[in-house]
Amino acid sequence: MSAATAAEPRQAVNSVADQVVRRFGDRVVLDHLDLALGHEELVVLLGRSGSGKSTLLRLLAGLDHPDGGTVEVPRKRAIMFQSDRLLPWQRVLRNVMVGLRGPGAAERARTALDEVGLAGRETAWPKELSGGEAQRVALARALVSQPDLVLLDEPFAALDAITRLRMHDLVRELRGQHHAAMLLVTHDIDEAIAIADRIVVLGDGRIGSSHLVTLSAAEREASPAREELRAALLTDLGLARRR
């Protein structure tokens, strides 16, 4: 493994999960899991379905509490879910403003919509948006509060392949403007390689392996190093081709 090798983050720590345990009945979903997110780091959490990815994300979001261990996260955080979760009875601008208060709220929401390429759609109803547009509104809503941690729970899983690629570009672009750590949960290896600073694989309730991704944008699309990383991730997920 050349470009992609396990490594602890060198930057200042943004969020920490320390020896976290979460059980549902007899089933131990997270078993003394450790994970640290660096400052402004984009970590992609890969795992098979049912591996506890979303459970970990909900713990970091504060939507759920651990049965053991501790979770430490910034107070200012935002979550983006697999479905857009827009309020159908509020127009687009109001949907972005839902967590804001104060006089400048509308202006900030407008800026956020502009950032995701939806300037001019402020007065549309959510039912009038396409799936990709709705997810971009959800992204604007997550970023508008200038959070220190953004948690993304399979945010592009329900989108078509072309829209998904455009969303990846958008996420990469927005990272330059927002100084937040991001944790993105997915089961899509190509998505992980496309946007991650670091890819961690969840298995048996713990972080099984961690790959630092230092590829350039072009290398992420096609290169021997990319294929090598992809093969390594497939092995980690237990999906390596048996030959």
d(CA 205, CA 33): 7
> Does residue 83 belong to the site contacting another protein (CB under 8 A)?
yes
Total residues contacting another protein (rule CB under 8 A)? 24
Stretch that binds another protein, among 22-30, 94-102, 180-188, 194-202 (CB under 8 A): 94-102
Radius of gyration of the chain measured on its C-alpha atoms: 18
Dihedral pair phi/psi, residue 169, rounded to 5°? -60, -45
From start to end of 61-112, where are the E strands? 68-72, 77-80
Of 141 and 198, which has the nearer Cβ to another protein? Answer: 141
Residue 240 DSSP one-character state:
P
Stretch that binds another protein, among 8-16, 35-43, 98-106, 115-123 (CB under 8 A): 98-106
State in angstroms the smallest separation of the CB of 219 from another protein: 16
Of 78 and 207, which has the nearer Cβ to another protein? Answer: 78
Residue 159 DSSP one-character state:
S
> Does residue 89 belong to the site contacting another protein (CB under 8 A)?
yes
Q: In 25-45, which positions are buried (b, 16+ CB within 10 angstroms) versus exposed (e)?
A: eeebbbeebebbbbebbbbbb
d(CA 151, CA 58): 9
Give the count of alpha carbons within 13 A of 83, CB side only.
5
Binders of another protein among 136-165, rule CB under 8 A? 141-142, 145
Binders of another protein among 9-68, rule CB under 8 A? 61-63
> Does residue 178 belong to the site contacting another protein (CB under 8 A)?
no
In the sheet that holds 13-24, the strands lie side by side as 27-38, 13-24, 68-72
State in angstroms the smallest separation of the CB of 217 from another protein: 17
Site string for another protein, 111-130 (x = CB under 8 A): --------------xxx---
Binders of another protein among 189-208, rule CB under 8 A? none
State in angstroms the smallest separation of the CB of 16 from another protein: 20
d(CA 126, CA 119): 15
User: Residue type at 16?
Assistant: V
State in angstroms the smallest separation of the CB of 125 from another protein: 5
| Residues forming the site for another protein (CB under 8 A) | 61-63, 77-79, 81, 83, 85, 87-90, 94, 98-101, 125-127, 141-142, 145
